[in-house]
Chains A and B, each alone.
Chain A
Amino acid sequence: MSAVPATTDRTAARLRQAARNPVVIASLIAIALVVVGQLVSPGFGSYNQIISMLRIASFLGIIAIGQTIVILSGGDGIDLSVGKVATLGAIIGARVMDGTDANLAGGILIPLVVGAAIGLVNGLGIVYLRIPPFVMTLGMLGVVQGIILAYTGGTAAGRAAPFLTELVNTRWLLGAPGVLFLWVLLIVVVTLVLRRTRPGWNLYAVGSNRTAARLSGIRVNATVIGAYVASGVCAVLAGLALLGYTESVFLNLADDYTLPSIAAVVIGGTLIAGGVGGYLGSAIGAVVLSVLQSLLTTLNMPESHRTIVNGVILLALLALYGRQRKLRS
């Protein structure tokens, strides 16, 4: 057999494999959406417009870090409290910062600790009280809502520190704001943690088979609890970025990010049952959802239609991925 057909065979096989990779599919969809947008409304695909869409995507993307980790941990893992926790983080941050850079450190650290504590309670309830993640985090959503009302008395006070606003809203390098660079850094760090550290490998093992993980000497409970803590922390981080974007807070600032964060994870190819996937996919999933949102807005589609289109696209992707998994096995 000559070497040439073997090489083309291998290239073809590699291409076929790439065409089945959810990360590749999601990237292609994002690009296709931009192209369609540009055709329908010239200027949609301009550099500045793309940077602006990516900036919006970064909020969702940062929330999706925690959601990815929680879903990877398996055991029907899901965190429905992320949107509310992000809102709470922004509210606390705004009040502590109170519009001055002098309070910046406290305004970031205190909300992060609160987010970690909420995640810890989620994790403890799920692991030790054996409350299903869906129910536990849904309950937590209600509790956090109550905390928000008690803490604010119904009206949110305070302002973002100028540094934070600048980080999110001011073009810094290559016409992009600092928050985009922060997101890229997070993508690299999170991917490294998942792929090249022991906690990362343990997370995949726990998500893949909890019994085998336990019998391999992995601390399953600690890993699961850690996943929910990470989710709380990431949610607050996204809340703070949103605070920088809006400068002042509302009582429902990030509430609507919960379901899109799950959608981003799913679009990115992470198995909803856990154990398979990664964060790069979720990040691209966040971009897809943000570009889609922009496109539908550009098309002047009413809110109701946008929601329907969002849902249909998500279901179509899920069906596509599910079908491929079946074909492969």
Chain B
Amino acid sequence: MSLLTMTGVSKRYGGVRALDGASFELEAGEVHGLLGPNGSGKSTLNKVLAGTVNPDAATIVLDGRPVEIRGPRDAAARGIAAVYQQLSLVDSMTVGQNLVLGVEPSRAGFVSNRASAAEIDAVLERMRRGLGPGVTAGTEVSGLSPGQQQLVEIAKAVLRKPRILILDEATASLHRDQVNLVFEIVRELTAAGTCVVFTSHRLEEVRTICDRATILRTGRTVATVTVAETTESELVRVMVGDVAQPERRTATPSTDEVVLRVRNLSAPGVHGIDLDVHRGEILGLGGLQGQGQSELLLALFGATATPSGEIDVNGRRVTNSSVVRATGNGFALVPGDRGSQGLFMQRSIQENLSIVSLRRRLLAALGISMRKERTVAEDAVQRLRIKIGGLDDPVTTLSGGNAQKIVIAKWLLNEPAVVLLDDPTKGVDISAKAEIYSIIRELSSAGVAVILNSSDDVELAELCDRVVVLYEGRVRTHLVGDEITSENLVSAALLIGEGDQGTVEEQPAAADGGAR
């Protein structure tokens, strides 16, 4: 009998189906991988199990009895513990205090430290090889490296003696030795009957530690496989499915003229990036989400601290040390989260459209002519076919697609030479998506250098002339023209088929551990 089964798990975020009747089954003592491309619902499924996301529908059977998991405390009470890539430790407290946070043994309402000290020391000792010699229960967490903190986070979960341990990208910031240590601990736990749900962008790790794997695609479970019996190309085929190859854009006559040239760009989260964008070309950024794509765009845009490297626009060296300078150099960024990064929610559509390019239309370098602002705003609304009530309405009145078009339009009014788009069609309905595609194509045809990060492989295949696939903040693979298929994108994102596929050209591999 299986330890846990989840069936019919569905979750919608607005118009987006994160999970659409997914199912999942765990047996005691196994390590079970969750695999799938971007947006397949791995994280959401993990969070439903951990109680941090309330599903719209789900049947969960634990030990043969139907249960409901209403929150993290509920999950903990049923022996479910989760570790994520995002750290949840309290910086200002010690390692020991963090380890027992929320389950402190108490005597008459007061925290009693003595009872837990032995257990804490034991688990820290077990982690010693990864933590290094200096870390004790009394060490303050703020002084630890991200890798050490991640290990403490794992120790905290282990200390709760869970029956089901979820490791969701919990090894992402760890060195190889630390990963091996975690795997040893995982094997000890499973030998004792615990079952581990494991998610990692490093396919190699999944193949090393997992017995079985469940593969998700667009929120549905498509297969559960025994990992040792499945080849990598089979995995990719199941993950991608039999999708019709999208119609590719008619290839623009590719010119040798380089509009944007980037050499050796490094910033927090990205390392030594080289890029060339030719005139009339759309360059895609692929790979699993969170491998440095957004960070790369922010670094190009001067929005992250201390980027280093060279950027040339039309042969002219530019220094994007701040957003103000990047904007002046003709750069535009449509950020990944339009609500928190792109829009001024309480302000009018008019102001949102005008704000970036006001400088171009001022009277006496100061005054705003409402007549001019109206004219350009109405023009942009028409050109991008944005559906609005009136220019004075707040942007909150708009749907996701139209709101995103406002963000794009405000930059177009500034006539940029380089447009950086960070997942611009996320949470956008299909018709708006098609319109955004045509806007992007028009930009590119007009000679604007376009870099498009997308979590949607089909979108990359449909729009891009070339795609660079990022892995842990570095360029791992270039795909050009007809090589840009969903299969190649997934293979490249998971580093499958290194060397044996002629079409996938390898970049020098980076030493692991540097990225987080």
* Chain A residues near B (Cβ < 8 Å): 196-199, 201-202, 204-205, 208-209, 211-219, 271, 275-276, 329
* Chain B residues near A (Cβ < 8 Å): 301, 303, 323-324, 326-328, 333, 335, 340-347, 351, 354-356, 358-359, 362, 366-368, 370, 396, 410
Is B342's CB under 8 angstroms from A204's CB?
no
Given A208-B347, A209-B345, A275-B344, A201 and B354 contact (CB-CB distance below 8 Å): yes
Q: Which 9 A-B pairs have the closest CB atoms?
A: A217-B327, A208-B344, A196-B368, A198-B358, A276-B346, A216-B356, A209-B344, A197-B366, A211-B341
Is A209's CB under 8 angstroms from B343's CB?
yes
Task: Name the B residues within 8 Å of A197 (CB-CB).
Answer: 366-368
Is B324's CB under 8 angstroms from A271's CB?
no
Is B410's CB under 8 angstroms from A208's CB?
no
Q: A218's contact among B301, B303, B335, B355, by CB below 8 Å, is which?
A: B355
In the complex, the chain B residue whose C-beta lies closest to that of A277 is B346
Is B335's CB under 8 angstroms from A215's CB?
yes
Is A219's CB under 8 angstroms from B324's CB?
yes
How near does chain A come to B403, taking the closest CB pair, in angstroms? 12
Task: Name the B residues within 8 Å of A201 (CB-CB).
Answer: 351, 354-355, 358, 368
In the complex, the chain A residue whose C-beta lies closest to that of B362 is A198
How near does chain B come to A189, taking the closest CB pair, in angstroms? 12
Given A201-B358, A329-B396, A212 and B344 contact (CB-CB distance below 8 Å): yes
Is A204's CB under 8 angstroms from B347's CB?
yes
In the complex, the chain B residue whose C-beta lies closest to that of A214 is B323
Is A214's CB under 8 angstroms from B367's CB?
no
Complex alpha-carbon distance, A215 and B298, angstroms = 9
How near does chain A come to B409, taking the closest CB pair, in angstroms? 13
Task: Name the B residues within 8 Å of A329 (CB-CB).
Answer: 396
Task: Name the A residues within 8 Å of B410 (CB-CB).
Answer: 216
Task: Name the A residues within 8 Å of B326 (CB-CB).
Answer: 217
Complex alpha-carbon distance, A329 and B356, angstroms = 27
Is B347's CB under 8 angstroms from A215's CB?
no
Is A204's CB under 8 angstroms from B351's CB?
yes
How near does chain B come to A99, taking the closest CB pair, in angstroms? 38
Q: A215's contact among B333, B346, B358, by CB below 8 Å, is which?
A: B333
Max chain A C-beta neighbours (<10 A), residue from B301, B347, B354, B359: B347
Complex alpha-carbon distance, A11 and B305, angstroms = 53
Is B303's CB under 8 angstroms from A205's CB?
no
Is A212's CB under 8 angstroms from B341's CB?
yes
In the complex, the chain A residue whose C-beta lies closest to that of B414 is A217
How near does chain A come to B385, taking the closest CB pair, in angstroms? 23
Is A214's CB under 8 angstroms from B351's CB?
no
Complex alpha-carbon distance, A86 and B18, angstroms = 57
Complex alpha-carbon distance, A215 and B439, angstroms = 21
Is A215's CB under 8 angstroms from B343's CB?
no
Task: Name the B residues within 8 Å of A208 (CB-CB).
Answer: 344-347
Since A208-B346, A212-B344, A216-B355 are in contact, a sample of 20 more A-B pairs with Cβ atoms closer than 8 Å, ordered by chain A residue number, is: A197-B368, A198-B366, A199-B366, A201-B351, A204-B347, A204-B351, A205-B355, A208-B345, A212-B341, A212-B343, A214-B303, A215-B303, A216-B356, A217-B323, A217-B328, A217-B356, A219-B324, A275-B344, A276-B346, A276-B347
Max chain A C-beta neighbours (<10 A), residue from B301, B368, B396: B368
Complex alpha-carbon distance, A137 and B333, angstroms = 35
Task: Name the B residues within 8 Å of A216 (CB-CB).
Answer: 323, 327, 355-356, 410
Complex alpha-carbon distance, A77 and B396, angstroms = 24
How near does chain B come to A77, taking the closest CB pair, in angstroms? 15
Complex alpha-carbon distance, A202 and B366, angstroms = 12
Q: B344's contact among A198, A204, A214, by CB below 8 Å, is which?
A: A204
In the complex, the chain A residue whose C-beta lies closest to that of B323 is A217
Given A198-B359, A209-B340, A217 and B324 contact (CB-CB distance below 8 Å): yes
Complex alpha-carbon distance, A205 and B351, angstroms = 8
In the complex, the chain A residue whose C-beta lies closest to that of B396 is A329
Task: Name the A residues within 8 Å of B340 (CB-CB).
Answer: 209, 211-212
In the complex, the chain B residue whose C-beta lies closest to that of A204 is B347
How near does chain A come to B375, taking the closest CB pair, in angstroms? 16
How near does chain A come to B355, taking the closest CB pair, in angstroms? 5
Task: Name the B residues within 8 Å of A198 (CB-CB).
Answer: 358-359, 362, 366, 368
In the complex, the chain A residue whose C-beta lies closest to that of B411 is A216
How near does chain B come to A221, taking the closest CB pair, in angstroms? 10
Is A215's CB under 8 angstroms from B368's CB?
no
Q: A205's contact among B341, B344, B396, by CB below 8 Å, is which?
A: B344
Is A205's CB under 8 angstroms from B347's CB?
yes
Complex alpha-carbon distance, A329 and B395, angstroms = 12
Task: Name the B residues within 8 Å of A199 (CB-CB).
Answer: 366
Complex alpha-carbon distance, A213 and B345, angstroms = 12
In the complex, the chain A residue whose C-beta lies closest to that of B325 is A217
Complex alpha-carbon distance, A217 and B327, angstroms = 6
How near does chain B come to A225, taking the closest CB pair, in angstroms? 15
Max chain B C-beta neighbours (<10 A), residue from A197, A199, A213: A197
In the complex, the chain A residue whose C-beta lies closest to that of B365 is A198
Task: Name the A residues within 8 Å of B368 (CB-CB).
Answer: 196-198, 201
Task: Name the B residues within 8 Å of A276 (CB-CB).
Answer: 346-347
Given A198-B362, A201-B351, A275 and B341 contact (CB-CB distance below 8 Å): no
